[in-house]
Amino acid sequence: MKNSKKLHWLIELGAAAAVIALAAGCQNPKSDAARGDDFPAPDMPRSVNAFAMQQAANGARADATLRDYHFDGGKLNSLGEERLDLMVHNGDDCSPLVVYLDVPADEANTESRRQAVTDFLRHSGLSDEQIKLEDGPNPNSTSPVAPLLAQQNMPQQSSASPAAPSSGSMPQGQ
C-alpha cells in the first residue's frame, strides 16, 4: 500500500471508531436516583426553607417589637402582619406573647394600633390571656453595640485604678 492509501485507511478507521463510540454513549448502570435526579418539585416543602422560616420566626419572637413602619396609620400593614405571624408560629409557648409597641405617642393612632395588634393575634388563635402589649422597645433585645455604648457612658476611671492595656500590648498569660 502506498502512503496515501494507508493514511486514507487510518482516517476511515478513526472515523468508524468515533461513530461507534458516539453511538454507544456514556452509559451509566446506576439508577437515576443514585445520580441525584430526584429533586423535589418546586412547590414541595424543602428542609432548607423550613430552617430559614424557623430562624426568621425565632428572630421575630426575640425582638418582639413593632415600630412605626409596621403600621399604616392605625392599621397593621403587611410587614407588621408578617412580623406578628412569625412571632405566633415560631413553635414556642405563648404564655403570654409579649409584643412591644415602639411607636411615637400619637393620640389619633395609639389606641387603634393596639387594637389592630390585638385583633390580629386573636384572629391567629391566641386568647386574651395570651396577649400582652407593652409600650416602648423590648428591653431584653439589645444589639452588639449596647455594651460599647454603656462603656462610653461610664464615668472615667480614677488614676488610682489600674489602666487598661494599650492596643499594642497583650495582658500577661495570653
Each residue's pLDDT, cut to its tens digit, for the chain (174 residues) gives 577 787 778 788 788 887 787 777 666 555 555 566 677 777 887 888 888 888 888 888 888 899 999 999 889 999 999 999 998 887 777 678 899 998 888 777 889 999 999 999 999 888 889 999 999 888 887 666 566 566 666 665 544 444 444 444 444 444
Compute CA distances 142 → 33, 56, 63, 170, whole Å: 48, 17, 9, 29
pTM above 0.75, yes or no: no
pLDDT of 170: 45
Rounded to whole angstroms, how far apart are CA atoms 102 and 128?
Answer: 21
Q: Which residues pair with 135 in a beta bridge?
A: 101
Domain locations in the chain as residue ranges: 48-135
pLDDT at res. 109: 87
Evaluated on CA atoms 37, 41, 46, 48, the torsion sign reads positive
Phi, psi of 109, rounded to the nearest 5 degrees: -110, -15
How far, rounded to the nearest angstrom, does the alpha carbon of residue 107 sit from its chain's CA centroid?
35
